[in-house]
Amino acid sequence: MRLFLVVIVLLSTAGCGGSDVPAVTPAPSVAPSESSAADDPSGSAACARLAAAVAAGSLMDAGVADDIVSSSRTADAPLADSADRLEAAYRAAVAAAGKADEPDKVAAVSAAASDMSGVCAESGLQTVG
């Protein structure tokens, strides 16, 4: 019974406090210009950037795919190859802007990202929940 009361007191006071600062702050992202030393193990930065882009729905935003691809240059062949496929799909989607096949090209970007996410998982670099 005492434990139950302690839990109730803790839960009821958990939201009380004078600070408007959130308890959790987002982790800083690694800039693409930083050295590959931050990419440990190799490919982890690319997988982290891919996960962030997928979560934010920003794969088609300018520079996002390029950032993922450039950060994959230190990765092993399967991950680098999947990043190259992502880049090719992105370039095709950009070229198809305003054309009838644009939706299919954008869908190909999503498929390439999904493939790359699978490669990240197989490589032990899975960062998407």
DSSP assignment of 45-61 equals HHHHHHHHHHHHT-TTS
pLDDT tens readout for residues 10-68? 344 444 444 444 333 333 344 444 444 455 688 999 999 999 999 999 999 999 999 99
Specify the pLDDT at position 125. 84
Those residues with Cβ within 8 angstroms of residue 20's Cβ, 6 or more apart along the chain or in another chain: none
pTM: 0.68
Question: Of 77, 81, 46, 76, which is closest to residue 64 (Cα–Cα)?
Answer: 46
